[in-house]
Amino acid sequence: METKGQRVKQLPMYKNECSFAGYNAANLMKETAKIRKLITKRGTIEMLIPLCCSTDPVRHKEFRQLLKGFSSKTLARRLKELEKGGILERQAYNEIPPRVEYRLTSKGQELVESIITLLQWMRKWSKS
């Protein structure tokens, strides 16, 4: 590709292969921004970990115990964002004291599986 008489260097590809060949880089960058907006806020990934380690729902109280250093406000905000994004399902019970439980949706389960794959990649390559 040439721009104003200058040749633009292509990025090197691993083994000259790329599974994203033919994709529009600008569109991929927009999609990356959506992912980043969803999961890179402080505490979001940490909130998904207790949910992926069990098939049982996680109570709000358990999140509070596991996520020390997070304010109640931050915890509540992140849980609402994940619920709004279709990652979590919230179940509130009309009991005293109030009981609220969270489960991963199928969309959330896929996200967690992707995060675990990324963690496995990190473990593999951090040893070298």
Read off the pLDDT of each residue in 1-25 and give the average, rounded to a whole number: 57
Q: Calculate what percentage of the chain has a pLDDT beyond 90.
A: 18
Read off the pLDDT of each residue in 85-94 and give the average, rounded to a whole number: 93
pTM attached to this predicted model: 0.70
pLDDT in tens, 41-65: 877 888 888 787 777 888 888 888 8
As a whole number of angstroms, the distance between CA 71 and CA 43 comes to 10
pLDDT in tens, 14-42: 555 556 667 778 887 888 887 788 778 87
